[in-house]
């Protein structure tokens, strides 16, 4: 896919989410499903963006670009879940149901005890819930017995019983890891939210004056801005590199890095905004709450650090460098584990 | 968009074969020469190693063949130098010449300067020192006072440069001097000169660093006269030239890899089944390194595309040097170990113990966030890149 197509997709997503997200957030805050925003999104076909080109999509990088835009505008829709559930269905050779989809994956603590799945994003509003189970099973279920919950940003995170037979069941190819895919998707959203937090903070620091000059003239503030920019850039670079390398290591590193950056960025963005940023009325919290929520979803940084730290030691110290280079390079053995095309 | 993207560059074909070639060379060189791996580019000086690299075509890689170069891409060069650093090879002798002095001469030097010097650098036999800092001019580089005035057919230089790494064992220095009024911007009236450290009569006085090593020097110019053809580029263009030089000085993988040998040692010490807290600490470093390497590669991609990614390079150097320190700190905490200076723990020779490797890094760390521009200055550059000043 050309850079031009990629830019076009990201622009389409950016325009859409910019137009729809504000009103949709207000609806969700009242407990309503933002149907209008969802319909507008569904009409673009962007939910299929992450599919391989021969399956009517534009590839993983395009999907991540859409998610970045969704994060940038704090779009209160199951964009990531629908997109990744669609991708997993394709990988398992199953038909993805129409409508908003929820997705339950198995990173630390989310898979419940086998009879329930916990904190499933958007389950109550979904037409179907895709459940990644042990040993690579993928089942589709109609949401039932939902116990409603929410993350810090007020996005639905529901518990659901796994009662009765699923509506459909399949098996994911061994090289397709739904948990890692969803972690990467969340990292892409985090990256978008970071971008917006940075932009808002730079703008505020340039407009707000104290001691007769804009805050941005104070070096302490400039260094906060530089730190936010650096953390956001590192998260973005890790996500971009993962889309390119497609190795399990790279997916895990992207979520670990973005989750780590999220807390630093939220803290500094609020510090620079002062009291006004601590109000419900100011918009900043829409992004910082997502940073705080998303960093812990799909495995937080400590979870993925443990995975990476254990992986890193498998070959001993001398093997570390070749392993890191291979994990960051497309077309290596490790890449097969994350697969090509349909296989994330 | 506010902020900075670091898109992965498209790597040139054949780059993995090149990487394999470098690895094979390094394994053999290490076995034969017995150098002790240290990923800090400034750790070990070996003219013979530099010559061997030159013979392989791995110095001046991107320069035109007419000047002894090899017309490879910046990304191929990146792969070679990251392999050298990761293996901890003794690259110091030719490092500055290959990284910044040669490219500066290629871009701004006269044809005669290029022909006389670039092939010698590429062969691994000609070394350079950086003549920027002075006793009263550190971060505020534009305030340099070393003055060059026209005298007869050439120039007469008076002043003092300081912290000049390797002046005592290099052939040339590129010195930034004041040649005219600073002007409103403070950036006018600066020029760069090629100084022959062996023949021009510069007084080079050693300064021993806190680790007991003699790397940097004080260089006194007391009426040093040089011919006119030693001016590099145009008179008065020194600021623009030195800014480009600094972008090269700051943008490479040596700003993220200085303690990589310690990270490998930490992984080795932890073994295949580290307890969760240790796995977490290692994973944190590894994830950070993964992101930094992606960023560093992206900077190389921008350089290859002809851009001057100075803000992006500042981000990588600021974060990279802090990461380098974090590696040593994590190792120290994870593997209870008292760092020692030099080889005094008795290991010596080709197999320094972890304690002496750690000791070298603990004593080296303060310099990582200073050399090539301090992290505070880098952060101000990043803020300017965000449109804030
Ligand atoms: C190992 C080593 C090798 C070196 N090799 C060379 C060499 O080969 N050639 C060469 O020319 N130079 C060399 N240097 C010098 C190096 O470039 C300077 O140390 C560096 O630019 C800082 O200058 P300074 O040491 O005078 O510190 P100063 O500029 O005096 O700074 C001291 C402290 O104040 C801070 N500071 C200064 N200005 C500001 C500001 N505007 N805002 C906020 N904080 C500020 C700095 O960040 C730093 O923390 C070397 C230094 C080291 C440590």
| Model pLDDT, residue A337 | 35
How far apart are the C-alpha atoms of A300 and A296, rounded to whole Å?
Answer: 4
Structure tokens at A292: 């705080």
For residues A209-231, average pLDDT: 98
Domain boundary among the residues B207, B237, B267 is at: B237
The CATH number of the domain holding residue B347 is: 1.20.140.10
d(CA A38, CA A16): 10
Report residue A334's pLDDT band, with 50, 70 and 90 as the boundaries: very low
Mean of the per-residue pLDDT values of chain A: 92
How many domains are there within chain B?
3
Q: Does A134 touch chain B (CB under 8 A)?
A: no
Q: Whose CA is nearest to atom 35 of ligand 1?
A: B376
Residue B247: inside a domain, yes or no?
no
Contact A149, A116 (CB under 8 A): no
Determine the distance in angstroms separating the CA of A145 from the nearest CA of chain B, rounded to an integer.
36
Q: What is the mean pLDDT of residues A316-323?
A: 96
Residues with beta carbon inside 6 Å of ligand 1?
Answer: A 219; B 129-133, 138-139, 163-165, 216, 367, 370-371, 373-374, 376-377
Q: Does B18 touch chain A (CB under 8 A)?
A: no
Instruction: Count CB atoms within 10 A of the CB of residue A174.
Output: 11
The helix/strand/coil state of B208 is strand
- Domain membership flag for residue B214: yes
- What's the Rg (C-alpha) of chain B? 21
CB atoms within 10 A of CB A277: 18
Chain A nearest CA to B386, separation (Å): 7
A101-104/A128-132 β-pairing: parallel
How far apart CA A292 and CA A294 sit, in angstroms, is: 6
Residue B179 lies inside a defined structural domain of this protein:
yes
A2-60 pLDDT per residue, tens? 889 999 999 999 999 999 999 999 999 999 999 999 999 999 999 999 999 999 999 99
| Optimal mutation site among A303, A305, A322, interface B, most CBs of chain B within 10 A | A305
Test mutation, B290, B310, B382, chain A, max A CBs within 10 A: B290
**pLDDT score of A330 more than 70:** no
The confidence score (pLDDT) of residue A113 equals: 61
Q: Residue B98: inside a domain, yes or no?
A: yes
Q: How far apart are CA B161 and CA B173, in angstroms?
A: 10
Question: Complex ipTM, two decimals?
Answer: 0.94
Q: How many CA atoms lie within 13 A of A231 on its CB side?
A: 26
The answer to whether position B373 is within a domain reads: yes
Cα distance between residue B190 and residue B147, in whole Å: 9
pLDDT of residue A149: 97
For residue A298, give how far its alpha carbon lies from the nearest alpha carbon of chain B (Å).
16
Q: What letter would DSSP give residue B73?
A: -
Q: What confidence category does residue A84 fall into, taking pLDDT thresholds of 50, 70 and 90? A: very high
The pLDDT, as a whole number, for residue B354 is 86
Domain presence at residue B111: yes
CATH number of the A178-338 domain: 1.20.140.10
B192 with B306, same domain? no
Dmax of chain A from CA atoms? 68
Tens digit of each residue's pLDDT (9 = 90 or more) over A155-164: 999 999 988 8
What is d(CA A87, CA A62) in angstroms, rounded to the nearest whole number?
A: 13
Give alpha helix (H) positions in chain B: 15-33, 47-56, 74-86, 92-96, 102-108, 111-122, 238-251, 260-270, 276-304, 310-334, 354-368, 375-385
The answer to whether residue B70 sits within a structural domain is yes
- Cβ within 8 Å, pair A327-B268: no
B333 and B229 in a common domain: no
Residue B341 pLDDT = 84
Closest among A284, A107, A282 to A194, alpha carbons compared: A284
Which pLDDT tens digit goes with each residue over A225-261?
Answer: 999 999 999 999 999 999 999 999 999 999 999 999 9
Query: Average of pLDDT values for A146-150?
Result: 96
- Choosing from B139, B218, B379 the residue with most ligand 1 atoms within 8 A of its CB, the one to mutate for a pocket test is B139
Residues B196-249: tens digit of each pLDDT: 999 999 999 999 999 999 999 999 999 999 999 999 999 999 999 999 999 999
Predicted local confidence at residue B342, as pLDDT: 76
User: CB B181: neighbour CB atoms within 10 A?
Assistant: 10
The 3-class SS string of chain A reads CCHHHHHHHHHHHHHHHHHHHHHHHHHHHCCCCCHHHHHHHHHHCHHHCCCCHHHCCCCHHHHHHHHHHHHHCCCCCCHHHHHHHHHHHHHCCCCCCCCCEEEECCCCCCCCCCCEEEEEECHHHCCEEEEECHHHEEEEECCCCEECCECCCCCEEEEEECCCCCCEEEECCCCCCHHHHHHHHHHHHHHHHHHHHHHHHHHHHHHCEECCEEHHHCHHHHHHHHHHHHHHHHHHHHHHHHHHHCCHHHHHHHHHHHHHHHHHHHHHHHHHHHHHHHCCCCCHHHHHHHHHHHCCCCCCHHHHHHHHHHHHCCCCHHHHHHHHHHHCCCCCHHHHHHCCCCCC
CATH number for position B189: 2.40.110.10
| Residue A178, CA distances (Å) to A84, A90, A135, A173, B67 in order | 8, 12, 11, 10, 53
Residue B8 lies in a domain: no
Q: Is B276 on the interface with A (CB under 8 A)?
A: yes
Task: Show residues of chain B in contact with A324, CB under 8 Å.
Answer: 286, 289-290, 293
Task: Tell whether the model's pLDDT for residue A270 goes beyond 70.
Answer: yes
Given CB atoms, is B275 within the 8 Å cutoff of chain A? no
Residue B370 CA, ligand 1 centroid: distance in Å: 5
b/e burial code for range A144-157 (CB count within 10 A of at least 16 → b): eebeeeebebbbbb
User: What phi, psi does A91 have (nearest 5°)?
Assistant: -65, -35
pLDDT score, position B337: 81
Q: Residues with Cβ < 8 Å from A175, sequence gap 6 or more?
A: A336, A337, A338, A339, A343
- Owning domain of residue B200: 130-237
Count of pairs with CB atoms under 8 A, one residue in A, one in B: 186
B315 touches chain A (CB under 8 A): yes
Q: Per the CB < 8 Å rule, is B387 touching A227?
A: no
For position B347, what pLDDT does the model report? 46
Task: Specify whether B232 is located in the same domain as B257.
Answer: no
Does residue B24 sit in the same domain as residue B56?
A: yes
* Percentage, residues of chain A above pLDDT 70: 93
Q: Does B2 touch chain A (CB under 8 A)?
A: yes
Q: B162 in helix, strand or coil?
A: strand
Residue ranges for chain B with pLDDT beneath 50: 345-351
Tally Cβ neighbours within 10 Å of residue B325. Answer: 18
The pLDDT of A301-322, averaged and rounded, is: 96
Q: What is the CATH number of the domain that holds B53?
A: 1.10.540.10
Nearest-Cα residue of chain A relative to residue B278: A309
Count of beta carbons in the 10 Å neighbourhood of residue A331: 12
Of A229, A241, A304, the CB nearest to B386: A229
Q: Are residue B295 and residue B362 in the same domain, yes or no?
A: yes
B134 and B120 within one domain: no
- B186, burial (CB in 10 Å: exposed 0-12, middle 13-18, buried 19+): middle
Q: Of the residues B43, B138, B317, which should be mutated to test ligand 1's pocket, given the most ligand atoms within 8 Å of the CB?
A: B138
Statement to judge: residues B160 and B71 lie in one domain: no
Per-residue pLDDT of A101-144, as tens digits, reads 999 997 645 555 668 899 999 999 999 999 998 888 999 999 99
Calculate the alpha carbon distances from A256 to A260, A295, B64, B111, B332 in Å. 6, 8, 42, 51, 23
């Amino acid at each position: 896919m050309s850079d031009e197509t990629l830019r076009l997709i990201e622009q389409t997503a950016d325009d859409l989410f910019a137009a729809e997200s504000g009103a949709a957030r207000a609806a969700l805050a009242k407990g309503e499903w933002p149907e209008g925003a969802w319909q507008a999104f569904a009409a673009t076909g962007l939910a299929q963006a992450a599919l391989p080109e021969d399956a009517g999509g534009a590839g993983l990088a395009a999907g991540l670009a859409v998610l970045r835009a969704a994060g940038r505008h704090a779009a209160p829709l199951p964009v990531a879940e629908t997109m990744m559930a669609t991708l997993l269905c394709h990988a398992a050779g199953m038909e993805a149901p129409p409508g908003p989809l929820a997705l339950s994956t198995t990173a630390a603590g989310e898979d419940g005890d086998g009879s329930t799945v916990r904190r499933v994003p958007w389950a109550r509003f979904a037409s179907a819930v895709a459940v990644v189970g042990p040993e690579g099973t993928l089942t589709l279920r109609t949401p039932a017995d939902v116990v409603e919950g929410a993350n810090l940003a007020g996005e639905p995170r529901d518990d659901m019983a796994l009662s009765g037979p699923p509506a459909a069941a399949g098996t994911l190819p061994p090289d397709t890891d739904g948990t890692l895919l969803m972690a990467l998707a969340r990292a892409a959203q985090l990256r978008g939210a970071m971008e917006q937090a940075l932009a808002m903070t730079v703008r505020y620091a340039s407009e707000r004056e104290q001691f007769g000059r804009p805050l941005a003239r104070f070096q302490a503030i400039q260094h906060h801005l530089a730190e936010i920019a650096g953390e956001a850039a590192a998260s973005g670079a890790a996500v971009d590199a993962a889309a390119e390398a497609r190795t399990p290591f790279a997916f895990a590193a992207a979520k670990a890095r973005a989750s780590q950056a999220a807390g630093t960025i939220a803290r500094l963005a609020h510090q620079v905004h002062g009291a006004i940023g601590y109000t419900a009325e100011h918009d900043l919290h829409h992004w910082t709450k997502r940073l705080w929520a998303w960093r812990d979803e799909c495995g937080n940084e400590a979870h993925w650090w443990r995975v990476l730290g254990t992986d890193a030691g498998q070959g001993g110290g001398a093997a570390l460098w070749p392993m890191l280079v291979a994990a960051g390079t497309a077309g290596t053995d490790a890449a097969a584990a994350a697969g090509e095309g349909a296989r994330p | 968009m506010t902020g900075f993207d670091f898109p992965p560059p498209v790597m040139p074909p054949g780059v993995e074969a090149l990487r394999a070639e470098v690895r094979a060379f390094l394994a053999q060189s290490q076995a034969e020469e017995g150098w002790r791996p240290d990923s800090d580019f400034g750790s070990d000086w070996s003219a013979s190693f530099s010559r061997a690299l030159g013979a392989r075509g791995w110095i001046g890689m991107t320069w035109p063949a007419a000047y002894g170069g090899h017309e490879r891409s910046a990304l191929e060069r990146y792969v070679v130098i990251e392999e050298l650093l990761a293996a901890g090879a003794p690259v110091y002798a030719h490092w500055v010449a290959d990284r910044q002095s040669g490219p500066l001469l290629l871009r701004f030097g006269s044809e005669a300067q290029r022909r006389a010097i670039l092939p010698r650098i590429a062969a691994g036999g000609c070394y350079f020192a950086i003549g920027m800092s002075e006793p009263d001019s550190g971060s505020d580089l534009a305030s340099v006072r070393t003055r060059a005035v026209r005298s007869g057919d050439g120039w007469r230089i008076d002043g003092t440069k300081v912290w000049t790494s390797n002046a005592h064992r290099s052939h040339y220095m590129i010195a930034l001097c004041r040649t005219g009024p600073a002007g409103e911007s403070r950036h006018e009236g600066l020029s760069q000169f090629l100084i022959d450290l062996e023949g021009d009569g510069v007084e080079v006085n050693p300064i021993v660093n806190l680790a007991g090593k003699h790397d940097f020097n004080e260089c006194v110019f007391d009426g040093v006269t040089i011919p006119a053809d030693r001016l590099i580029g145009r008179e008065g263009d020194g600021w623009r030239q030195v800014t480009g030089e600094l972008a090269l000085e700051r943008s490479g993988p040596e700003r993220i890899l200085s303690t990589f040998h310690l990270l490998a040692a930490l992984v080795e010490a932890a073994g295949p089944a580290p307890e969760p807290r240790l796995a977490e600490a290692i994973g944190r470093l590894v994830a950070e390194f993964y992101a930094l390497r992606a960023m560093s590669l992206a900077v190389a991609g921008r350089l290859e595309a002809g851009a001057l990614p100075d803000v992006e390079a500042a981000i990588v150097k600021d974060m990279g040097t802090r990461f380098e320190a974090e590696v040593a700190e994590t190792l120290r905490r994870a593997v209870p170990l008292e760092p020692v200076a030099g080889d005094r723990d008795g290991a010596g020779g080709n197999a320094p113990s972890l304690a002496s490797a750690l000791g070298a890094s603990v004593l080296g760390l303060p310099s990582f966030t200073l050399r090539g521009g301090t992290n505070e200055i880098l952060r101000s550059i990043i803020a300017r890149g965000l449109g804030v000043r």
